[in-house]
Amino acid sequence: GNSVTQMEGPVTLSEEAFLTINCTYTATGYPSLFWYVQYPGEGLQLLLKATKADDKGSNKGFEATYRKETTSFHLEKGSVQVSDSAVYFCALSEITGGFKTIFGAGTRLFVKA
């Protein structure tokens, strides 16, 4: 079946470091891909999305490129801030036997000042 696999956390970085959170997926069709962020005590918020191969989603300095050949959608940011500390979820949506969104397990990021 369809699935999303994220790198395990927690990831701990110093402020201004480069961030990569890996995400790979399996899907039978042509999914849309998303990154969501969850701050403590809150629900998930959309961070960025990409709807077809080679699309790049970007928002707030974060980027991710839809790579169909490697079935990946890795999240990157060039210089993290303390305020980026949160849990990040990769997700895919497709219509196979009904509409479905599948979330990865989440990756917790800690950024130290």
Partner 1 sequence: NAGVTQTPKFQVLKTGQSMTLQCAQDMNHNSMYWYRQDPGMGLRLIYYSASEGTTDKGEVPNGYNVSRLNKREFSLRLESAAPSQTSVYFCASSKQGINQPQHFGDGTRLSIL
Residues that bind partner 1 (CB under 8 A): 4, 31-32, 34, 36, 41-46, 49, 51, 89, 93-95, 98-101, 103-106
Residue 80 or 89 with smaller CB distance to partner 1: 89
CA distances from 8 to 96, 105, 106, 107, 109 (A): 27, 8, 8, 6, 10
Q: How far apart are CA 72 and CA 81, in angstroms?
A: 25
Q: From the CB of 113, what's the least distance to partner 1, in Å?
A: 26
Strand partners, 8: none
Amino acid at 65: T
> Token pair of 108, please?
């917790």
Residue 17 or 65 with smaller CB distance to partner 1: 65
Q: From the CB of 73, what's the least distance to partner 1, in Å?
A: 14
Q: From the CB of 60, what's the least distance to partner 1, in Å?
A: 15
Question: Are the CB atoms for 34 and 27 separated by under 8 Å?
Answer: no
Residue 46 or 82 with smaller CB distance to partner 1: 46
Q: From the CB of 93, what's the least distance to partner 1, in Å?
A: 4
